[in-house]
Amino acid sequence: MSRNPSRSKRPQPKNREIGNEASPADADEVIINHAHALYGSEAATAVAFCGLDAWFEGEEAEFRRLAGLFRRLRN
């Protein structure tokens, strides 16, 4: 089982910030804001590690999403 709770098979509490009506772009903004809040200038590195974890878990869609977030954070 993945160490990442967002990919766990167990039911997870919903993030009230994102909500059901939010678009993927809004969700990406929330992820970027949280990464900056948690990791500061190392946010891009943290997202890159999450992307690598998704790649090694065989989750290509999640990897591609995180790669896009990494590109946005890096610039």
For the chain, what is the mean pLDDT?
A: 82
Domain membership flag for residue 53: yes
**DSSP per-residue string spanning 50-63:** HHHHHHHTT-HHHH
Predicted pLDDT of residue 5? 54
Instruction: Evaluate whether residue 25 is within a structural domain.
Output: no
Pick the closest to residue 33 from 69, 3, 9 (CA basis). Answer: 69
φ/ψ of 57, rounded to 5, equals: -80, -5
Residue 64 lies in a domain: yes
Asked if the model's pLDDT at residue 68 lies above 60, the reply is yes
Enclosing domain of residue 65: 44-75
Q: Does some domain include residue 15?
A: no
Q: Is residue 48 part of a domain?
A: yes
Tally of domains within the chain: 1
Phi, psi (rounded to 5 degrees) for 33: -65, -40
Output the pTM of the full model: 0.67
Q: How much is the average pLDDT of 33-62?
A: 95
| Residue 21 belongs to a domain | no
Token reading at 5: 């709770």
* Position 33 in a domain: no
